[in-house]
Amino acid sequence: MSTSSSAPADHRTFVRTALDLKDAVLRPWSRADAGSEALLDALVTAAADPAIALWNPMAAADRDAAGAWVEARDGGWERGTAAPFAIVDAIDGTLLGCVNLRWVDRADGLAMIGYWLLPTARGRGLATRAVAAVTGWGFATAGARRIEIAHAVGNEASCRVADRCGYLPEGVLRESFRFGDGEYHDEHLHARLAGDPEPGRP
C-alpha cells in the first residue's frame, strides 16, 4: 500500500507551541481555559464588541457558550487541523485576542489565517506581529505551502494587517461570506507563498 498520499498530511499537523512577542504571548487554547472565569468573561466581552461581532462573529454570549468555544479550539489542536492561539499579556495573562491558522486543504498545504483583538489591545501593531509570527511558524514547522487571508472589503483594519504581513492582494470574492450582520459581503483575498520574501525584503 502506497503512503505517498498520506505522508504530506501526516507532516502537516499543527503541534502545540507558544510564540513569544515580548509584550504578549501566543499560546494554544486548551480545555483548561474553560475553567478560567476571567478568560471566559473576556471571551464574552469580545463576542459583544461591535467590530468582532460584525467581522469575526463567535458564539460566546455567556460563560457556558464561551467554554464550548474554547473546547472547540482545543479540538482543532487535538486533530492537528487548526492552530488557534490565544494572545495574552506577557505579564498578567490577560486575554488580548486570538489568531487562528487552519487547514483548507491539508494534503495540498493550503491554509487560511484569521485574527481578532479586543478593543484595549488595538492600535499598537499587535495583530500584525501576531499574524506575522504565526505565518512564519506555519511555513517553517507545518509545511504550509500557501496561506490565505480573506476579509470583508469593509474591514479596512484587516486589510492593513494583511498588507503589512506580506500577503499580496489577489482579487475580490463576490458575496463570499455571511458576516455577523446576516449579509453576504464581498471579500478581499490575500495570500502568501512559502517562498515569498519576508515583508520589507527584496
- Model confidence at 59: pLDDT above 70: yes
Tens digit of pLDDT for each residue in 88-121? 999 999 999 999 999 999 999 999 999 999 999 9
pTM over 0.75: yes
Residue, of 53 and 201, whose pLDDT is higher: 53
Name the burial class of residue 32, with classes exposed (0-12), middle (13-18) and buried (19+) by CB atoms within 10 angstroms of its CB: exposed
User: Across residues 32-60, what is the average pLDDT?
Assistant: 95
- Model confidence at 6: pLDDT above 50: no
* Rounded distance between C-alpha atoms, residue 142 and residue 76, angstroms: 14
In the prediction, which pLDDT does 200 show?
72
In the prediction, which pLDDT does 199 show?
86
In the prediction, which pLDDT does 110 show?
97
In the prediction, which pLDDT does 5 show?
38
For residue 201, name the pLDDT band (cuts at 50, 70, 90).
low
Tens digit of pLDDT for each residue in 151-190? 999 999 999 999 999 999 999 999 999 999 999 999 999 9
Contacts 24+ apart (CB under 8 A), 189-193: 189/148, 189/149, 189/150, 190/148, 190/149, 190/150, 190/151, 190/159, 190/162, 190/163, 191/146, 191/147, 191/148, 191/149, 191/167, 192/135, 192/146, 192/147, 192/165, 192/166, 192/167, 192/168, 193/145, 193/146
Beta-carbon contacts of residue 140 (< 8 Å; ≥ 6 apart): none
- Model confidence at 70: pLDDT above 90: yes
In the prediction, which pLDDT does 10 show?
57
Least Cα distance to 107 among 145, 148, 150, 149 occurs for 145
